[in-house]
């Protein structure tokens, strides 16, 4: 049978899955609510599987997928258009979520390895074979009820929780004169991750060196993400939970390393320490090259850190679930940070107001919490850039945003969210060169942060460096597992400026941020350039009804976002073609 089959997890002989078994597994996956993907991703998965079964794996390329599945023109250029890569990333993440929850006992595992689009089909090893190193804990059930949250629902649930907890954020114990001082010195209870030394399963000198090196590198990469705290060492060496001032880690990262003459495999799993349930697991395979060992370790560590610690990553998902199901009493400030990222799902003005209030109270209680100051600064910036307010307070909001970001940077100069806020504040103040220098410094600190990479890339693009900036945004969309509407809108702008109006409309429709005025403005320009007068009229009516002040001085609105006059003119031309009257300069 001409199928792409990979070896079983324990490298033992196994019978190949039949065509019937593979198709049955495909139906099982696509019918599961855990495989939460749009129709295009489902067609993508079905296409590559049928091609592999038919023995046409060699035809599974970006070009054929784009033309035969997505309906692209014959002129499709995979290097310039990342649509297939992005869709493949979504399918990979959806498959991983499915097998972590609904498919944990399925007999056939379907995967699409990175680096290509050809699927692999693996027969799950029998339960009695489990017990080979990294599979020691596989008998333990996955944490029940874990599933990928629709971020709009998650944001709403978090906001409800936050609003009920707001009074507690400012309550002080009665009769204690030093209570306020103690609270000001306190730090919020952000999640703590225990990274234990990775286990060397090969028991050799080289493998032992690699295991220690990977452990150190993973720790150094994760600590760059300031939304979580890292504890290094063995669980047996941790202080007792009752020890004064010590809060035990919520999660533990376990890893095993196998090395042979040509291959390195790191297997990792994230465990919830309260019940030892596995909430995420993954393997990382690399061709072993001793000469480039440090590079290999760094690349693998970056992949692990990004998957776990970035906003919308595995720990974020677990924490969002915990907060909505059983809110802890001491996570108020951290709940505000989760709520901010939930708000980023659709950039809704009403959610924005609640999140901003929560963050204001968080920094009042925890004045040394740099991340909360940074996110608060971003909410002030959003009042201007998304035009939630059109009154005279907009300049005040920008000044407040810059001051708040400066406070965050002062507290933690290595906090990339603080530098991101500073970059945006300076950009909207018109200090473009200084803003980009701040963004470049933040990227040097943590290039694995997809939120930062996408935002910095968009600033580069809007300042006129379109190819470099749009490439960064595209990479952020491909690697970010969370809500992508904002960055998909950025890619719509990238396509618009390059003259690819069909691609611009596809990205805008995919973003679908219906509550955001700037989204409608971007879509209006795209429809104008595309000659879609009826659709443009609907968008223009929405803007006149919901954001009338936005269209009254459109030149100013475009100028504070797009730096070069030539790019401003191109955008305004699309608005004119859409029916919006724009005065001459």
pLDDT digits (tens, 9 = 90+) for 369-378: 999 999 999 9
Q: So what's the pLDDT on residue 151?
A: 42
User: pLDDT at residue 158 above 60?
Assistant: no
- H/E element holding 325? helix 314-325
Joined tokens for residue 271: 């465990």
pLDDT at 125: 64
Instruction: Give pLDDT, residue 534.
Output: 93
Strands 108-111 and 192-195: unpaired
Please tell me the distance from the alpha carbon of residue 384 to that of residue 401, in angstroms, as a whole number.
Answer: 10
Q: Nearest 5 degrees, angle CA 502-CA 507-CA 508? A: 95
Which CA distances in Å does 59 have to 70, 237, 328? Answer: 15, 53, 52
Portion of the chain with pLDDT greater than 70, in percent: 81
Which tens digit of pLDDT belongs to each residue from 436-469? 999 999 999 999 999 999 999 999 999 999 999 9
**Total length of the chain:** 585
Where is pLDDT greater, at 185 or 580? Answer: 580
Given a cut of 70, whether residue 33 has pLDDT beyond it is yes
How is 120-159 classified by DSSP, letter by letter? EEEEPPPGGG--SGGGTTTTSPPPTT--PPPHHHHHHHHH
In whole angstroms, what is the distance from residue 93 CA to residue 150 CA? Answer: 14
Q: What is the model's pLDDT at position 442?
A: 96
- Among 38-47, 73-82, 200-209, 238-247, where is mean pLDDT lowest? 238-247
* pLDDT at residue 349, as a whole number: 83
On the question of pLDDT at 227 being above 90, the answer is no
pLDDT score of 246 = 62
**What's the pLDDT score for residue 466?**
97
Read off the pLDDT of residues 507-518 as tens digits, 9 standing for 90 and up. 998 887 888 889
pLDDT at 421: 97
Q: Do β-strands 192-195 and 229-232 pair in parallel, antiparallel, or remain unpaired?
A: parallel
CATH architecture under which domain 192-310 falls: 2-Layer Sandwich (3.30)
**pLDDT at 11 > cutoff 50:** no
Give me the mean pLDDT over the 100-107 stretch.
80
* pLDDT given at position 134: 33
pLDDT recorded at residue 7: 35
Alpha-carbon span 154 to 321, nearest angstrom: 8
Question: Which pLDDT value is given to residue 243?
Answer: 56
Average pLDDT over residues 2-9: 40
pLDDT at residue 172, as a whole number: 39
Q: pLDDT band at residue 83, thresholds of 50, 70 and 90? A: confident
Q: How many angstroms separate the CA atoms of 24 and 33, rounded?
A: 16
Alpha carbon distances (Å) from 354 to 158, 164, 503: 10, 11, 35
136 pLDDT band (50/70/90 cuts)?
very low
57: its two tokens: 């794996």
Pick the CATH number of 467-585 from 1.20.1070, 1.20.120, 3.40.50, 1.25.40: 1.25.40
Q: Which residue has the tokens 């945003």?
A: 401
Cα 82 from chain centre: 17
Whether residue 571 has pLDDT greater than 50: yes
Give the whole-angstrom CA distance, residue 315 versus residue 308.
6
User: Residues 324-341: what's their mean pLDDT?
Assistant: 70
How much is the pLDDT for 268? 94
Q: What pLDDT, on a 0 to 100 scale, did the predictor assign at position 330?
A: 54
* Structural domain boundaries in the chain: 19-127, 192-310, 467-585
- How confident is the model over 236-255, as a mean pLDDT? 76
**Which of 84-93, 168-177, 367-376, 540-549 shows the lowest mean pLDDT across its residues?**
168-177
Q: Given this model, what pLDDT does residue 183 score?
A: 40
* pLDDT 10s digits, 357-413: 989 999 998 999 999 999 999 999 999 888 886 554 455 678 899 999 999 999 999
Tell me what the pLDDT averaged over the chain comes to.
Answer: 81
Phi, psi for 242 (deg, rounded to 5): -80, -5
pLDDT confidence of 50, banded at 50, 70, 90?
very high
Say which residue, 147 or 506, is predicted with more confidence.
Answer: 506
Kindly tell me if the per-residue pLDDT of 51 is higher than 50: yes
Over residues 521-533, the mean pLDDT reads 95
pLDDT in tens, 193-222: 999 999 999 988 889 999 999 999 999 999
């Amino acid at each position: 049978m001409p199928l792409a089959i990979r070896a079983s997890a324990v490298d033992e002989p196994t019978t190949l899955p039949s065509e019937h078994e593979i198709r049955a597994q495909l139906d099982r996956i696509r019918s599961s609510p855990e495989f939460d993907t749009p129709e295009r991703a489902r067609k993508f998965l079905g296409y590559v599987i049928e091609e592999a079964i038919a023995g046409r794996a060699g035809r599974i390329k970006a070009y054929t997928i784009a033309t035969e599945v997505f309906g692209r023109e014959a002129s499709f250029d995979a290097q310039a258009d990342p649509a297939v890569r992005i869709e493949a990333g979504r399918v990979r993440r959806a498959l991983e979520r499915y097998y972590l929850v609904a498919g944990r006992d399925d007999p056939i595992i379907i995967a699409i390895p990175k680096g290509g689009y050809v699927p692999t089909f693996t027969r799950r090893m029998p339960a009695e074979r489990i017990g080979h190193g990294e599979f020691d804990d596989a008998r333990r059930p996955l944490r029940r009820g874990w599933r990928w949250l629709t971020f709009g629902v998650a944001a709403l649930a978090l906001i409800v929780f936050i609003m009920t907890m707001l009074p507690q954020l400012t309550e002080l114990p009665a009769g204690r004169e030093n209570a306020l001082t103690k609270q000001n010195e306190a730090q919020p209870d952000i999640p703590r991750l225990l990274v234990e030394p990775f286990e060397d399963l090969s028991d050799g000198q080289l493998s032992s060196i690699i295991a220690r090196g990977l452990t150190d590198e993973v720790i150094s990469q994760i600590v760059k993400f300031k939304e979580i705290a890292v504890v290094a060492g063995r669980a047996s060496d941790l202080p007792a939970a009752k020890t004064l001032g010590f809060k035990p880690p919520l999660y533990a990262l376990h890893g095993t390393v196998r090395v042979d003459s040509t291959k390195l495999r790191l297997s990792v799993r994230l465990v919830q320490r309260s019940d030892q349930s596995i909430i995420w697991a993954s393997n990382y395979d690399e061709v072993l090259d001793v000469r480039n060992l440090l590079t290999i370790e760094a690349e693998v560590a970056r992949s692990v850190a990004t998957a776990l610690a970035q906003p919308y990553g595995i720990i974020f998902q677990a924490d969002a679930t915990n907060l909505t199901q059983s809110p802890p009493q001491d996570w108020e400030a951290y709940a505000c940070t989760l709520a901010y990222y939930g708000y980023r799902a659709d950039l809704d003005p009403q959610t924005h107001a609640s999140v901003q209030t929560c963050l204001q109270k968080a920094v009042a209680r925890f004045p040394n919490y740099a991340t909360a100051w940074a996110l608060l600064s971003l909410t002030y910036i959003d009042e201007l850039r998304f035009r939630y307010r059109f009154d005279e307070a907009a300049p005040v909001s920008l000044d407040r945003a810059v001051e708040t970001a400066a406070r965050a940077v002062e507290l933690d100069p290595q906090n990339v969210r603080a530098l991101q806020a500073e970059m945006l504040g300076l950009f909207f103040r018109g200090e473009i060169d200084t803003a980009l220098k701040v963004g470049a410094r933040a990227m040097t600190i943590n290039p694995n942060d997809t939120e930062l990479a996408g935002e910095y890339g968009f600033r580069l693009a809007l300042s006129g460096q379109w190819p470099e900036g749009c490439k960064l945004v595209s990479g952020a969309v491909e690697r970010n597992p969370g809500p992508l509407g904002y960055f998909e809108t950025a890619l719509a702008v990238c396509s618009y400026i390059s003259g690819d109006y069909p691609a611009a409309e596809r990205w805008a429709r995919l973003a679908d941020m219906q509550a955001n005025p700037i989204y409608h403005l971007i879509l209006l320009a795209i429809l104008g350039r595309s000659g879609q007068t009826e659709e443009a009229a609907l968008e223009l009516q929405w803007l006149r009804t919901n954001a009338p002040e936005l269209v009254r001085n459109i030149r100013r609105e475009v100028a504070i976002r797009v730096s070069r006059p030539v790019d401003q003119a191109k955008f305004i031309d699309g608005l004119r073609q859409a029916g919006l009257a724009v005065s001459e300069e």
